[in-house]
Amino acid sequence: MKKEWSTSKVVLWFMIFMLMGIILFTGWATIQMISVVSAGVGLVAWDFTPLVGLISAIAGQVVIVLGYFVKSSKENSAGGIVYQSMMNEFNAATAIWTGDIPLAPDVEQP
């Protein structure tokens, strides 16, 4: 059985790939600008304003990844949603295998 990805994990990877695209495009644009200026084509001046986009892209990536890690650690620690549901399933499976399943709420166990 193939396990589906959670929505938060899909959003995390989408944002990482999108921000990596911004970072790579900004690097490419800066390299192209440097090659045009170095060739002396026209009256083109040094312009590093595309690099301003890197600040927000990298900061955004850090915030998104850290936010996902905090959310994931809270869910998977004791008392978290994923941890509790896993423990409930484990306890139910253990009760089936050991025979500790109560017959009914008002019937005493032998």
- Does residue 28 sit within a domain? yes
Q: 14 φ, ψ to 5°? A: -60, -45
Give dist(CA 51, CA 93) in Å, integer.
56
Q: What is the pLDDT of residue 6?
A: 77
What confidence score (pLDDT) does residue 73 get? 77
Q: Taking the CA atoms of 86, 91, 96 and 102 in sequence, report the sign of the dihedral they define.
A: negative
In the prediction, which pLDDT does 1 show?
64
Cα dihedral sign for 3, 9, 13, 18?
A: positive
Residue 54: per-residue pLDDT: 82
The distance from CA 7 to its chain's CA centroid, rounded to whole angstroms, is 9
When divided into structural domains, the chain yields a total of 1
Q: pLDDT tens digits for the chain (110 residues)?
A: 677 877 778 888 888 898 888 889 888 888 888 888 887 776 667 777 777 878 888 888 888 888 888 887 777 676 666 666 777 777 776 666 566 555 555 545 55
Q: Which domain holds residue 89?
A: 7-98
Cα–Cα distance for residue pair 42/21, rounded to 1 Å: 30
88-100 residues labelled b (16+ CB within 10 A) or e (exposed): eeeeeeeeeeeee
Residue 45 lies in a domain: yes
CA distance 30 to 12: 27
Has residue 103 been placed in a domain?
no
pTM score, whole prediction: 0.56
